[in-house]
A and B are shown apart, each in its own frame.
Chain A
Amino acid sequence: MLEITSTDHPEYLQISLRGEITSASASQLERTLAELLAKGPPPRWLLDLGDLLFTSSAGLRVFLTFAKRTKTAGGRLAFCNVRPAVAEVFEVSGFTQILTIAPDAAAAAVLLGAA
């Protein structure tokens, strides 16, 4: 089960994920992100993973695709509040080398140049 909520901030769009990203829910996340991106990409995106308990490789694939698309669109993307279980998957898959990861939303806003 995965809940996706988006919150508009003046300088960036915050997307909060709650639950687990499995091979079944990954397509839901992929669709939602693609729709948000299609609306006209905001220059800055913040993915809050504070309530994300688990991600499978399917979730990582969505994050990788989204990171590529925002970069190509000239946007900026940061992740925050990553739980230890998800952080470990990011570390093992080498995603910590390519993604911008902050401890919390405020720090992520600074990294996005929005604070």
Chain B
Amino acid sequence: MRPPQRSSWVPPDTSMVHSPHPAGDSNRESATRTALIAGAIDLTVTLGALIAANSAVILADFFKTLLEFIAVLLAWLAIRRIQRGANHEFDYGVGKLENLSSLAVAILMVSCLFVIAINAIRNLLHPSEIAGIGVWISLVSQVLYGVINMRLCLRSRRLAREQNSPLMASQAGLFYTKVFGNGFILVSLALSLLLHGVPWVHYVDPIASLMIAGSILLAALGIFKASTLDLLDRTLEENTQIVILRALAHHFDCYEELHEIRSRRSGSHVFVEIILGFSAAQSAAEVQAAARRLKAELEHEIQGSRVTIGIA
């Protein structure tokens, strides 16, 4: 039975056509929605801590949390757009939306990095003592959200591995940096409270912040590189190329000439186009059967792939 149509112009099966993993897309939307709710609560708690404390570290934490929330919101919107499916304006699907969303995440992470770095430099130049009930609110929330973020990170990493999704990979990276940030802020605040009165303790917070900034920079660069290259339609990575060539070697006697292999990635989808020449002695049925076998083998071997066999 066909699912009910959302509107008259959206074909009911487009999500099936453009996504080889409809159930997987649903899991991804569910995972991102959970992250969005967790992020909204985190943002509210951090804002409360910020208002009730005079800590510059908590101020930086608030900006970082805000940017992360925007990043998750963008990812959720992208997944919802993909879930609704593409219309005839997007014959290859809207997978690049995932790459664009990942790119936006990377840019937001760099913005976050600047906020933390500027704040850390200011604290190094003008060391101050932290105080207020907000510090305790922040300590409790770092523990709580450290546990939640760790669970979300592991979930996103599993989905990224299972569905070969750059968006979920970027989400896993994002949650990892959040766990790292939670740990560092926790240690930084705890040291500031426990070693109250020790002169050098004022430098703990900014140094911890700079280390968090370093980890965010590394994650942002990785996401930026992968998303940009995929947006430029870079060919598939070497190990996938080897899989394609292995299939062509396996079917070596079924075709007469290899004219061209083209490949690219669009979000979590992989497109492979192979142009083969066949002998004039082969019947149309034989050619079709050979092309079908090769296509089936490749689509089985390469997760999320749509293979087109062109006949020259």
Give residues in A with beta carbon < 8 Å to B: 56-58, 60-61, 64-65, 67-69, 72, 89, 92-95, 97-98
Q: How many Å lie between the Cα of A100 and that of B245 in the bound state?
A: 17
Say whether A60 contacts B245, CB under 8 Å: yes
Contacts of A89 in B (CB 8 A): 242
Say whether B245 contacts A65, CB under 8 Å: no
Say whether B242 contacts A57, CB under 8 Å: yes
Q: B57-78: which have CB < 8 Å to A?
A: none
Say whether A69 contacts B249, CB under 8 Å: no
Q: How many Å lie between the Cα of A68 and that of B256 in the bound state?
A: 7
Say whether A98 contacts B242, CB under 8 Å: no
With A64-B245, A65-B258, A68-B258: A57-B252 Cβ-Cβ less than 8 Å:
no
Minimal Cβ-Cβ distance residue in B for A63: B245
CB distance from B241 to the nearest CB of A (A): 3
Among A60, A61, A69, A94, contact of B250 (Cβ-Cβ < 8 Å): A94
With A64-B258, A69-B257, A72-B257: A57-B250 Cβ-Cβ less than 8 Å:
no
Q: How many Å lie between the Cα of A92 and that of B246 in the bound state?
A: 8
Say whether B249 contacts A98, CB under 8 Å: yes
Q: How many Å lie between the Cα of A65 and that of B277 in the bound state?
A: 11
Q: How many Å lie between the Cα of A61 and that of B250 in the bound state?
A: 14
User: Is B261 part of the contact surface with A, judged by Cβ < 8 Å?
Assistant: yes
Q: How many Å lie between the Cα of A72 and that of B246 in the bound state?
A: 20
With A57-B238, A93-B242: A64-B257 Cβ-Cβ less than 8 Å:
no
CB distance from A101 to the nearest CB of B (A): 13
| A61-B258, A94-B249 known, 8 other contacts, Cβ within 8 Å | A58-B241, A64-B248, A64-B258, A67-B252, A95-B245, A95-B249, A97-B250, A97-B252
Say whether B238 contacts A64, CB under 8 Å: no
CB distance from A74 to the nearest CB of B (A): 12
CB distance from B281 to the nearest CB of A (A): 12
Say whether B257 contacts A61, CB under 8 Å: no
